[in-house]
């Protein structure tokens, strides 16, 4: 650091300004030691500071680098030759199955095969590649192999060209595990579901039905058994009986599909549903979520509720009972974010008081002093935004109804060491 | 009811953010969200950063327009807040430097006459935090960045796009993460 300080001093001397070395060292030291700024950033900042102090011109400079995708000549391969992720290949294959995709970003997903193997493929909506058809054979040029949990798949991308072939590609005879061969798929538990594209049968209870706006989806929600819960999608084209929340069913011949590391069950036209008399018990739905509080939403802080139905009032009125004399309450609608999920969470009065340090009485008098209920929300934001919390609670629709909340108050050293090891082996 | 899905606040170190220059829209109409795709494939419409505010300056002419520089173990983020970010601008006006700050904001890019793309952050909120929150963020961001570096082989469309555009060097980003994590241990 002393070297850096000397260096800064001599640079300024060249510009005709003599700055005491102690002043430079002090500023540098405060930034680096107390505020953990990397030395070169601290150096920059100190230089900027003294340039400004001395009315000198600053030349901001920025580095930029350009990258060009590497040119490549893509080899033709057979499907059993795909044994590595991240390779560009050309393949000739027949489309064996197209799965329904509930994800707008995916235009087609399914299984293709040749005489050596079968493999999953994905075609993304944004790449605008014409659709392929089941039973037809194609030459797929410039697709990318991808390894996922030890299995391979191919991804079509914007460089991919798909040509339909006149020839009918012969496909390896081993079955891909389908319905339609008369055999019901094997019975499993939710926790056993670990293979993409696997046909299975399962006994579950419907825990939640979600709103859905897709015409092609008849029902979507959450089902579970004693080992866990899983999302399901029932396609309109499957023409199956409607499920009722809280009832238990046997699903025959449904497909497990993996999406972003999670599995979903899809009920299609090969599936069937039987209602069960027994009541399937669902594993407790209490969950833990850790993340930074990135928003405290409007409707948080000091609110008034309808004395009859307890709904929060909007502009002094209840949706159901109109203008009423409301009673005060405190709540927080927070967004916790772990970098992968933005999780809305609702804290009732006792937890809102605990985490914000503001009691309902405090809040009422703060609002009275300021003649504005909004000051309570402002205070809560100041106190909570940007900090890391761990909550437990039950997931209802898109919210967690929080049972407990705690501030994360220190680094987990074991986790830190694990991360360093992970970074080292990469 | 088609639910509105809030954009996740991605975790990206300053160095990777600075090395990003690819933006795209998800969809065709004017309301489609805009994303910045980083070299490790983070698709960023919103980000969460915690670091040290080391400089701030009102560079506005007619009205206040604040520029801030927020440092993390790998470099620094530029922050701009004006009349359209009133809460954040006020927070910047009021706070001292240096200070540990947490920022939720949107990525923004600017292309210079020479064609260089500069990234910055338009804050939605800025709050003063403590050193523990700052350390938690470094570990958090290290973990998410490592996940992305690992996923560079498992190509979804974002990763394919990022690799094509940046020719991403895995080692470059894994050593950046390593350095950031080691700095956490040295501080103790
Ligand atoms: Zn009411």
Q: Beta strand A262-267 with A248-259: parallel, antiparallel or unpaired?
A: antiparallel
* CB-based contact A357:A376 (threshold 8 Å): no
| Residue A204 sits at the chain B interface (C-beta within 8 Å) | no
Average pLDDT over residues A10-27: 87
Rounded to an integer, what distance in angstroms lies between the CA atom of residue A107 and that of residue A123?
Answer: 6
A365-404 b/e (C-beta count within 10 Å ≥ 16 → b): ebbeeeeebebbbebbbeebbbbbbebebebeeeebebee
Q: Do B183 and A387 touch (CB under 8 A)?
A: no
pLDDT of residue A285: 62
Q: Which of A85, A99, A101, A73 is nearest to A154 (CA)?
A: A85
Domain count, chain A: 4
Instruction: Report the domain count for chain B.
Output: 1
Summarize the confidence of residues A319-326 as an average pLDDT: 88
- Indicate whether A148 pLDDT > 70: no
Q: Which residues of B touch A70 (CB under 8 A)?
A: 167
d(CA A137, CA B60): 62
What average pLDDT score do residues B135-159 get?
Answer: 93
The answer to whether A37 contacts chain B (CB < 8 Å) is yes
ipTM: 0.95
Domain assignment of residue A423, yes or no: no
Q: What contacts A196, CB < 8 A, 6 or more positions away?
A: A120, A148, A151, A256, A257, A258, A263
Does B2 score more than 80 pLDDT?
Answer: no
Range of the domain at B120: 9-187
- With respect to residue B69, please indicate whether it lies within any of the assigned structural domains: yes
Residue among A36, A413, A415 with most chain B CBs within 10 A, to mutate: A36
- A positions 240-259 inside 8 Å of B (CB): none
CA dist B102 and B135 (Å) reads: 12
Across chain B, what does the average pLDDT equal? 92
Instruction: Let me know if residue B3 belongs to a domain.
Output: no
- Ligand 1 centre to CA of A371 (Å) is 25
Answer whether residue B161 is part of any domain: yes
The CATH number linked to B163 is 2.40.50.140
In tens, the pLDDT along A336-355 reads 999 999 999 999 999 999 99
- For residue A131, give the CATH number of its domain: 2.40.50.140
Averaged pLDDT, A302-306: 92
Q: How far is Cα A189 from Cα A203, in angstroms, rounded to an integer?
A: 8
Evaluate whether residue A425 is within a structural domain: no
- In the predicted structure, residue A234 carries a pLDDT above the cut 80: yes
**Strands annotated E in A226-285:** 228-235, 248-259, 262-267, 272-275
Mutation test of the interface with chain A: which of B12, B14, B50, B52, choosing the one with the most A Cβ atoms within 10 A?
B52
How are beta strands A137-148 and A161-164 bridged, if at all?
A: antiparallel
| CB B67 within 8 Å of CB B126 | no
Q: Is A178 helix (H, G, I), strand (E, B) or coil?
A: coil
In this complex, which of A48, A341, A419 lies closest to B142 when CB atoms are compared?
A419
pLDDT tens digits, one per residue of B109-128: 998 888 889 999 999 999 99
Most confident of A36-40, A268-272, B14-18: B14-18
> Ligand 1 centre and the CA of A357: distance in Å?
29
Give the per-residue pLDDT at A397. 67
Collect residues with CB below 5 Å from ion ligand 1: A 306, 308-309, 311, 318, 320-321
Domain boundary at A62, A85, A103, which? A62
Ramachandran region, residue A386 (left: φ > 0; alpha: ψ -120 to 50; beta: rest): left
What pLDDT does residue A183 have? 61
pTM of the model: 0.64
What does the pLDDT read at residue A213? 65
CA distance between the termini of chain A: 31
CB–CB contact A423 B69 (8 Å)? no
Which structural domain, as residue segments, surrounds residue A231?
187-275
């Amino acid at each position: 650091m002393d070297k850096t300080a000397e260096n800064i001093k001599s640079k300024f001397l060249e510009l005709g300004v003599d700055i005491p070395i102690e002043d430079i060292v002090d500023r540098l030291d405060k930034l680096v030691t107390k505020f953990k700024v990397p030395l070169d950033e601290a150096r920059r900042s100190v230089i900027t500071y003294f340039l400004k102090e001395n009315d000198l011109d600053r030349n901001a400079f920025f580095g930029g680098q350009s990258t060009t995708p590497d040119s490549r000549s893509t080899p033709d391969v057979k499907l059993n030759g795909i044994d590595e992720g991240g390779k560009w290949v050309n393949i000739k294959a027949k489309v064996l199955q197209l799965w329904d995709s509930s994800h707008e970003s995916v235009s087609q997903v399914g299984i293709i095969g040749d005489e050596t193997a079968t493999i999953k493929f994905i075609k993304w909506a944004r790449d605008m590649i014409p659709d392929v058809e089941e039973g037809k054979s194609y030459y797929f040029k410039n697709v990318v192999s991808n390894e996922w949990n030890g299995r391979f798949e191919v991804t079509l991308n914007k460089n991919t060209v798909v040509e339909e072939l006149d020839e009918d590609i012969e496909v390896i005879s081993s079955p891909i595990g389908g319905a339609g061969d008369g055999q019901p798929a094997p019975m499993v538990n939710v926790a056993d579901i670990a293979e993409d594209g696997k046909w299975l049968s399962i006994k579950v209870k419907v825990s939640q039905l979600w709103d859905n706006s897709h015409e092609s989806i008849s029902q979507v929600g959450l089902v579970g058994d004693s080992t866990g819960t899983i999302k399901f999608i029932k396609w309109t084209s499957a023409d199956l009986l409607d499920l009722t929340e809280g009832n238990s069913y046997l699903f025959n011949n449904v497909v497990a599909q993996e999406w972003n590391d999670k599995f979903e069950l899809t009920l299609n036209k090969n599936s069937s549903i039987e209602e069960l008399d027994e009541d399937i018990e669902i594993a407790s739905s209490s969950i833990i979520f850790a993340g930074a509080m990135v928003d405290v939403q409007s409707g948080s802080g000091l609110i008034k509720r309808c004395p009859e139905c307890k709904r929060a009032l909007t502009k002094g009125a209840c949706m159901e009972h109109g203008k009423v004399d409301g009673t005060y309450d405190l709540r927080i609608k927070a967004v916790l974010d772990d970098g992968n999920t933005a999780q809305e969470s609702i804290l009732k009065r006792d937890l809102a008081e605990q985490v914000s340090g503001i009691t309902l009485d405090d809040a009422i008098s703060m609002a009275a002093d300021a003649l504005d209920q909004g000051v309570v929300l402002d205070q809560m934001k100041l106190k909570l935004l940007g900090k890391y919390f761990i909550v437990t609670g039950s997931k209802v629709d898109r919210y967690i109804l929080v049972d407990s909340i705690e501030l994360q108050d220190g680094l987990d050293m074991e986790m830190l060491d694990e991360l360093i090891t992970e970074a080292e082996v990469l | 009811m088609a639910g509105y899905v809030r954009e996740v606040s991605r975790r990206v170190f300053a160095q990777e953010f600075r090395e990003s220059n690819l933006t795209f829209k998800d969809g065709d109409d004017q309301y489609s969200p805009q994303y910045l795709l980083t070299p490790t494939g983070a698709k960023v419409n919103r980000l969460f950063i915690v670091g040290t505010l080391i400089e701030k300056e009102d560079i506005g002419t007619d009205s206040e327009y604040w520029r801030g520089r927020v440092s993390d173990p790998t470099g620094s983020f530029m922050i701009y807040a004006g009349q359209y970010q009133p809460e954040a601008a006020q927070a910047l006006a009021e706070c001292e430097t240096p200070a540990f700050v947490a920022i939720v904001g949107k990525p923004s890019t600017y292309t210079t006459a020479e064609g260089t793309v500069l990234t910055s952050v338009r804050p939605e909120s800025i709050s003063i935090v403590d050193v523990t929150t700052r350390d938690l963020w470094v570990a958090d961001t290290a973990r998410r960045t490592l996940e992305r570096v690992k996923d560079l082989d498992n190509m979804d469309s974002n990763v394919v796009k990022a690799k094509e555009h940046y020719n991403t060097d895995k080692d470059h980003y894994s050593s950046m993460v390593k350095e950031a994590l080691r700095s956490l241990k040295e501080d103790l």
